[in-house]
């Protein structure tokens, strides 16, 4: 295998990784804009591939500048199509600055958390289990609303909610999942920790946090994993 072919294979791998990761993110834009940016993406990737294929199979000299420019456009442009500023994030009551969000299952989710969730979601789907997010990243205004519901018991079923600024929904590592479906909950109990997701609130079966691969499944809530 010569160098050009190796380069081609690695770029195909990168493009495929881009595709599989980003296609699961829904763009936070109108339908017409989504169609446009997806066709721009396709145009860029096919142009990149064509340039390389020509250089290998038709023995044309590789135009390195063209390859580099296309690769940079993809690298920089693609995340920009799928990510947006979701506002100020908080940890332990203090602002940690703004975060980039993407849309997963129709909900705003911090980009890194979205990647990790999608990896787990794919694994569950392979076993016929369909994970869904009911609540992702929350702004201060939304957390204030939920906290008020918890105090008054007049909304959000009076569910427990952390003090505004102290919820892990506000820094993006927490997701509320569709655990009302027994198959979903039992799959999570058996498998989520393999993907770095654990339950952290004993009274909330639906609340899961990404704490990193290798976190024991009962690190926070005892007796909730197999
Ligand atoms: Zn939650």
In tens, the pLDDT along 123-173 reads 999 999 999 999 999 999 999 999 999 999 999 888 889 999 999 999 999
Q: What are 213's two structure tokens?
A: 């691969």
DSSP-assigned beta bridge partners for residue 175: 208
CA distance 93 to 39: 42
Q: What are 35's two structure tokens?
A: 């169609």
Query: Which residues have a beta carbon within 5 Å of ligand 1, which is an ion?
Result: 176, 207
Q: How confident is the model at residue 28 (pLDDT cuts 50, 70, 90)?
A: low
Ligand 1 centroid–CA 29 distance in Å is: 26
Q: Which CATH number fits domain 92-210: 3.30.1380.10, 3.30.470.20, 2.60.40.420, 3.40.50.360?
A: 3.30.1380.10
DSSP-assigned beta bridge partners for residue 103: 26, 108
Ligand 1 centroid–CA 81 distance in Å is: 27
Ligand 1 centroid–CA 200 distance in Å is: 9
Ligand 1 centroid–CA 21 distance in Å is: 24
Q: Where in the chain is the domain with CATH 3.30.1380.10?
A: 92-210
Say what the pTM is. Answer: 0.77
Ligand 1 centroid–CA 207 distance in Å is: 4
CA distance 56 to 203: 60
pLDDT of 77 higher than 90: no
Ligand 1 centroid–CA 163 distance in Å is: 12
pLDDT of 47 higher than 90: no
pLDDT of 34 higher than 70: no
Mean pLDDT throughout 184-212?
Answer: 95
Taking CA atoms, 181 is separated from 88, 123, 214, 223, 225, in Å, by: 32, 17, 26, 19, 17
Ligand 1 centroid–CA 195 distance in Å is: 18
Mean pLDDT throughout 104-130?
Answer: 94
Ligand 1 centroid–CA 5 distance in Å is: 48
Which alpha helices (H) appear in the chain, and where do they start and end? 3-23, 31-57, 64-82, 111-126, 140-152, 182-191
Q: What are 16's two structure tokens?
A: 């495929």
Ligand 1 centroid–CA 88 distance in Å is: 18
């Amino acid at each position: 295998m010569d160098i050009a072919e190796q380069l081609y294979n690695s770029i195909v791998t990168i493009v495929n990784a881009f595709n599989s990761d980003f296609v699961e993110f829904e763009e936070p834009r109108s339908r017409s804009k989504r169609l446009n940016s997806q066709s721009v993406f396709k145009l860029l990737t096919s142009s990149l591939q064509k340039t390389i294929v020509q250089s290998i199979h038709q023995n044309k000299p590789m135009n390195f500048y063209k390859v580099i420019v296309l690769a940079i456009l993809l690298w920089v442009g693609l995340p920009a199509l799928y990510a947006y500023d979701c506002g100020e994030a908080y940890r332990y009551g203090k602002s940690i600055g703004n975060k980039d969000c993407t849309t997963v299952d129709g909900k705003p989710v911090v980009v890194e958390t979205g990647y990790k969730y999608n990896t787990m979601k794919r694994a569950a789907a392979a076993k016929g289990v369909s994970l869904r997010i009911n609540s992702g990243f929350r702004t201060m205004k939304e957390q204030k609303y939920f906290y008020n519901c918890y105090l008054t018991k007049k909304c959000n079923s009076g569910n427990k909610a952390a003090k505004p600024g102290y919820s892990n929904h506000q820094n993006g590592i927490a997701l509320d999942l569709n655990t009302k479906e027994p198959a979903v909950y039992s799959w999570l109990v058996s498998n989520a920790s393999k993907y770095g997701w654990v339950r952290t609130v004993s009274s909330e079966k639906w609340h899961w946090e990404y704490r990193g691969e290798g976190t024991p499944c009962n690190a926070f809530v005892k007796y909730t994993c197999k």
